[in-house]
Amino acid sequence: MASPAPKLWFIQVNDLVPLRDNNPVNSTPRVIYGLIILNVVIFLLQVNLPPNQLESFFNTWGMVPQQLTASFQNLQGALPWVWITLFTSQFLHGGIFHLGGNMLYLWVFGNNIEDQLGHVKFLIFYLGCGALAALAQWAFEPTATIPTIGASGAIAGVMGAYVLRFPRATILTLIPLIFFFTTIRIPAIYFLGFWFIQQALYGLASLSRNINLGAGGVAYWAHAGGFVVGVILGPLLGLMKSKSPPRRR
């Protein structure tokens, strides 16, 4: 019998299925390519680890709220990797669907933000949103002992920047029905606005029900926090500056 998978707190964005947008870009999204490749390579490495090593791997490089809390309480004795996990946790995933959903969202929404900010600023923006999103999750569960992993705290920041900069862009969205699938085009302001409200409501519901988030699940506060960070940080890095019209595809 296979060993049980380690308990994890997932940061993921795959409730809706965006296929593409109608928002062409002027530049090659090199950082997006690099991030996707890096996430896939790390996932391929981690899936080849034995179960006991994989659990240790997640506990070392995932963001464990209890460890972060201890580091704040004892700054002089804080271990360096505890702070580094705010970034390393962004490149860990709990399964192929967790990885695939996150990378799909990154591809659909990220290329336009990288095009708008430029490669260097976009990388700073992406990693900053991911780290602050992890801190948002920590703020609501500071004593949790389960690792928080996943890229979508950072991707939620990208989505927040996208809806601020391109609210009228339309997203071709796959809608699963009972026996078949269909697609519709949804304006970004509705697609992403609904997604943000959903994450915030789920987060509030988890507090009102006194749910132990450490049991594993979806890191709703990382999603909502990352989205808000993206709305704030994007304009500070030049998101709203005018650029030349994108070339047609």
**Which tokens belong to 174?**
């796959």
Mean pLDDT of 210-220: 58
Return the higher-pLDDT residue of 95 and 162: 162
pTM summary value: 0.87
Question: Residues 148, 88: contact at Cβ < 8 Å?
Answer: no
Q: What is the helix (H) or strand (E) element at residue 162, kind and residue range?
A: helix 152-165
Tell the burial category of 171 from Cβ atoms under 10 Å away from its Cβ (0-12, 13-18, 19+): buried
Domain ranges of the chain: 9-236
**pLDDT tens digits, one per residue of 27-57:** 999 999 999 999 999 999 999 999 889 989 9
Say which residues have a Cβ less than 8 Å from residue 177's Cβ, sequence separation at least 6. Answer: none
Q: What is the helix (H) or strand (E) element at residue 19, kind and residue range?
A: strand 17-21
pLDDT of 123 above 50 = yes
Q: Are strands 148-149 and 9-10 parallel, antiparallel or unpaired?
A: parallel
**pLDDT range class, residue 249, cuts 50, 70, 90:** very low
Give the 3-state secondary structure of residue 120.
Answer: helix
Question: In angstroms, rounded to a whole number, what is the distance separating the alpha carbons of residues 113 and 229?
Answer: 14
What is the share, in percent, of the chain residues with pLDDT greater than 70? Answer: 83
Question: In angstroms, rounded to a whole number, what is the distance separating the alpha carbons of residues 152 and 98?
Answer: 10
Question: In angstroms, rounded to a whole number, what is the distance separating the alpha carbons of residues 186 and 195?
Answer: 12
**pLDDT tens digits, one per residue of 130-145:** 999 999 999 988 888 8
Say which residues have a Cβ less than 8 Å from residue 231's Cβ, sequence separation at least 6. Answer: 160, 161, 163, 164
**pLDDT range class, residue 204, cuts 50, 70, 90:** confident
**pLDDT tens digits, one per residue of 60-102:** 999 999 888 888 777 555 566 788 999 999 999 988 989 999 9
Mean pLDDT of 191-209: 83
> What 8-state DSSP symbol labels residue 179?
S
Question: In angstroms, rounded to a whole number, what is the distance separating the alpha carbons of residues 130 and 236?
Answer: 16
CATH H superfamily, domain 9-236: Rhomboid-like (1.20.1540.10)
Dihedral, CA of residue 92, residue 94, residue 100 and residue 104, to nearest 10 = -60
